[in-house]
Amino acid sequence: MGIRDELAKTEFYNREYSLNHIPYDKEMAFYQSIRNGDMEEMHRLFTPLCIEGFGKLSENPLRNLKYHLIITVAFITRYCIEGGLEMESAYNLSDIYIRKIDTCNSEEGVHQIHKELCEAYVRRMQKVRPANRYSKPVQLAIDYIYDNLHNKIYLLDISEAAGLSETYLSRLFHKETGTSITDYIIAKRIDAAKNLLIFTEYSTSEISNFLNFSSESHFIATFKKLTGLTPKKFRLYNFRNKEHSTE
Domain locations in the chain?
A: 3-130, 131-244
Q: What is the pLDDT of residues 153-183, one digit of tens each?
A: 999 999 999 999 999 999 999 998 899 999 9
Residue in 29, 35, 23, 50 with CA at minimum distance from that of residue 118: 35
From first to last of its 247 residues, what are the pLDDT tens digits of the chain? Answer: 554 554 444 444 444 434 344 445 567 788 888 988 889 989 988 888 765 545 667 788 899 889 989 999 999 998 888 888 888 888 889 999 999 999 999 999 999 999 999 999 999 998 875 545 688 899 889 888 988 888 999 999 999 999 999 999 999 999 988 999 999 999 999 988 988 888 788 999 999 999 999 999 999 999 999 999 999 999 988 876 654 444 4
From the centroid of its chain, how far is CA 25? 24
What does pTM read for this prediction? 0.55
Domain covering 131-244 assigned CATH 1.10.10.60 in the classification: yes
